[in-house]
Structure 1
Amino acid sequence: MSTTNNAEIFAKAEQICHNKGVKLTAKRKNVLGVLLDSSKPLSAYEIVDIYRTTHNESLAPMSVYRMLDILSELAFVHKLSSENKYLACSHITCTHEHQVPQFLICKSCGKVAEKGIQTSVIEALKESINQADFQLLNSQIELQCLCNDCANPSEKG
């Protein structure tokens, strides 16, 4: 995550929810907090376990999935389809227009970096897809990588 603290993120999330007429309930906020505090993407079941430990309250996995759907629609959370895991958006507090995300996923340690894709790249992909007589359903890109720490372990320390 960035240097932005959770209080700033929650304040911005509350503002966005208010503007969209959606409630950021305590449980949704807590689920978002679990993802914000995690150094790696989490499955819904991992969120359930962490939530139970940190909030002394059980949540049903289906409830967590519904909350994640809402948080995803609000662009507070992203789903990594290749991993079936979720992570907090790294741009919740940004004021700029969000680009289509690409996720660089380290296959060794699980670290994920979120980067925006330039509009021209997405347009070129759409054109290529249209020429193949297909229609793009999701422009999010997930790239399997090695982070520099895993690629060069001898350079640590």
Structure 2
Amino acid sequence: MSADIDQIIRKTEEICISTGVKLTPKRKHTLLVLLTASVPLSAYEIAEQYKIKFNETLPVMSVYRIMNFLIQEKLVHKLETANRYVACAHITCDHPHEIPQFLICDRCHTVKEVGIKKRIISELKHSIEHTGFTLSSHQLELHGLCEQCRGHTL
């Protein structure tokens, strides 16, 4: 395991202790699968990678339950438009987190997580509410081409 991943796992364990929840070995291993993935993974891909990395079968229904736990603890995000999961890029940060915004490359499927100021989301929500529409999620997912893929098309 790399030093970065070791640090993320230590911070994850601290977060779980501070919130009074348990980071079981399966939860930890599932997070490790996401941390070592280069692109977001579906529940089925997580189960497949889990079996390869840990030589143990993890039923897809268990993956969904674990993902719900990790999302609740703000360690993982679900990309709704792709129906895939990605580890939070800010697990080890000590600063207050902004609302996550995801920049998703349509070619290589990499994801960059960036924060959006709460003030901007608040203004957007206020503007939307004037239409009679109510937001159920503040998560933004923007699709396009990353810098590397954009360079291949020039």
TM-score (norm 1): 0.94
Q: Which deviations, in whole Å up to 9, do the C-alpha atoms of 1:68-99 show, x marking residues without a partner?
A: 00000001000000000000000000001111
Distance 2:22 2:128 in 1: 37
Structure 1 alignment gaps of length 5 or more: none
Which amino acid counterpart does residue 143 of structure 2 have in structure 1?
Q
CA gap 1:133/1:44 in 2 versus in 1, 3 angstroms: same
1:67-146 equivalences under 5 Å are 67-146=66-145
Q: How many residues get paired?
A: 153
Which amino acid counterpart does residue 30 of structure 2 have in structure 1?
V
> Match of 2:103, SS?
strand
Which amino acid counterpart does residue 124 of structure 1 have in structure 2?
E
1:7 positional shift: 1.0
1:67 positional shift: 0.1
> Match of 1:5, SS?
helix
In the alignment, what sits opposite 2:38? 39
Distance 2:116 2:145 in 1: 19
In the alignment, what sits opposite 1:15? 14
CA RMSD of superposed structures (Å) = 1.4
1:4 positional shift: 6.4
TM-score (norm 2): 0.96
